[in-house]
Structure 1
């Protein structure tokens, strides 16, 4: 029988489980993902009411444009952390796939670096978003036309802040898992 080399056994070990639940983060991420799905459903209802209102009674639904614009942005930020946690964030990982079999520790190091970079970018977004939320709240910013339809923008600004915060934390959690896997791969 042929003895397996250490490099072969190292490559055979799976990557850390990115879908492993965390006690506090996972319920919040899943809840935000669910809220995003509900908002998509609500947008479908609003757009259909607008279309049928125009078609049947020549009466469009006021605020359809504003609500769908805000809804699309909200859904992206509500579902971003879940996409990161589930490994469904769009990326090209051909190099990582090759390295997974040939150089496990380098693969894990690159994944950790990418996760840290993603977490830092989102942390910068959080840093810039916090003053926008405060400003929208204090100044009473709204979207729409007075007398026809207006919607305050602070709820959207809050969703952006919370979504970017949780996505940043999710990236950092994944980076820690990859760093721990590097340490255990070296032993």
Structure 2
């Protein structure tokens, strides 16, 4: 029979992968994303002020906003997963939590493993785009030539790093869920 302390309670926080240097890395990525949001808001407000009162908008703001939104999402994706804020349906997991906690952790382990493998496949397929954007920046840019352009390689690199970090986080969660299922069984 399972030990009472090993069975998760409703008020217990969701289990997470162990803390460590990787947790700090994705914490820094999340903080950079948050600071980027603040700077983006300042840029947008400065552009609005320039358009409205000075009749002189800031060049490239729409391109920078489009660039930034994608970069911010991928910088913060792994931290979102780690903190348990990733959108999912918990109906079955909630039922299993009360009735079969070991099955719940096993199901979560499989879910997180599949998520990690899918993210690794995405990273594998995306890597050639990162290399092409790095090697040929004159062909890989955002914006209007002659007015405002941004090379795509920094954005592609951020997206790639975010995908890899999210894959690692998925795999860490899978391992942690598997360990929790084993602890309940013993």
Whole-Å separation in 1 of the counterparts to 2:18 and 2:7? 20
Contact 2:2 2:185 in 1 (8 A): no
User: CA-to-partner distance for each residue in 1:115-150, whole Å, 9 max, x for gaps?
Assistant: 011111211111112111100011102111122111
Query: Which residue in 2 is equivalent to 1:164?
Result: 163
Match of 1:136 in 2: 133
Residue 90 of structure 1: aligned partner: 87
Tell whether 2:8 aligns with 1:9: no
- Greater relative contact order (Cα 8 A, min sep 6): structure 1 or 2? 2
Shift of 1:8: 8.5
Counterpart Cα distance in 2 of 1:110 and 1:135: 39
| Superposition pairs of residues 149-160 of structure 1, within 5 angstroms | 149-160=148-159
The equivalent residue for 2:40 is 43
How many pairs were matched up? 181
Indicate which of 111, 116, 121 corresponds to 2:113: 116
- The whole-number CA distance in structure 2 between the counterparts of 1:181 and 1:7 is 12
- Whether 1:104 and 2:101 are equivalent positions in the alignment is yes
Which consecutive residues of structure 2, in runs of 5 or more, have no partner in the other structure? none
Secondary structure at the aligned position of 2:161 is classed as: helix
Q: TM-score, normalised by structure 1?
A: 0.91
Which of 42, 64, 77 is matched with 1:67 structurally?
A: 64
Task: State the 1:13 CA deviation.
Answer: 3.6
Structure 1 residue 27, shift from structure 2 partner: 1.0
Partner-residue secondary structure (3-state), 2:149: strand
Please give the secondary structure, in 1, of the residue aligned with 2:115.
Answer: helix
